[in-house]
């Protein structure tokens, strides 16, 4: 049986779970600075993802897929400024960006990724 590893438990979930050579992160939000604009929130979120990846022994160059949720699609360009500065050049993952109602009205962005270990 393949081992399942988990990181950063909360009341309802773990922030990351690894199984079968893959790491799945929960959707990450800008909890430290929820009143920042979409670019600032995305920068915080991407830093959180970097730390989760590092804890699991991988990094952003091994991200296979990213799911990005925006509370308002008008924040697409602002979020992309943070994303473009962060993503590993030449190692961009498959990506989906959709507009969705997020759990806190202050959140503009939520991002979850799947990465190879």
Quick: pLDDT tens for 86-99. 999 999 999 999 99
Instruction: State the pLDDT confidence band at 2, using cuts at 50, 70 and 90.
Output: confident
pLDDT for position 90:
96
Kindly report whether the global pTM for this prediction surpasses the value 0.95: yes
Q: Which domains does the chain have, with CATH numbers?
A: 26-116 (3.30.1330.40)
Quick: pLDDT tens for 28-77. 999 999 999 999 999 999 999 999 999 999 999 999 999 999 999 999 99
CA distances from 104 to 35, 74, 75, 107 (A): 11, 18, 16, 6
Contact, 37 vs 107, CB < 8 A?
no
Instruction: State the pLDDT confidence band at 114, using cuts at 50, 70 and 90.
Output: very high
Q: Which of 1, 27, 32, 31 is nearest to 14 (CA)?
A: 27
């Amino acid at each position: 049986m393949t081992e399942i590893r988990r990181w950063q438990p909360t009341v309802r979930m773990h922030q990351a779970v690894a199984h079968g050579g893959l790491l799945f992160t929960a959707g990450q939000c800008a909890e430290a600075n929820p009143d920042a604009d979409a670019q600032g929130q995305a920068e915080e979120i991407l830093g959180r993802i970097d730390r989760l990846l590092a804890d699991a022994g991988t990094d952003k160059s091994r991200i296979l897929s990213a799911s990005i949720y925006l509370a308002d699609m008008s924040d697409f360009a602002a979020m992309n400024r943070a994303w473009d500065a962060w993503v590993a050049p030449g190692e961009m993952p498959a990506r989906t960006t959709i507009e969705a109602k997020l759990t806190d009205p202050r959140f503009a962005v939520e991002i979850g990724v799947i990465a190879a270990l």
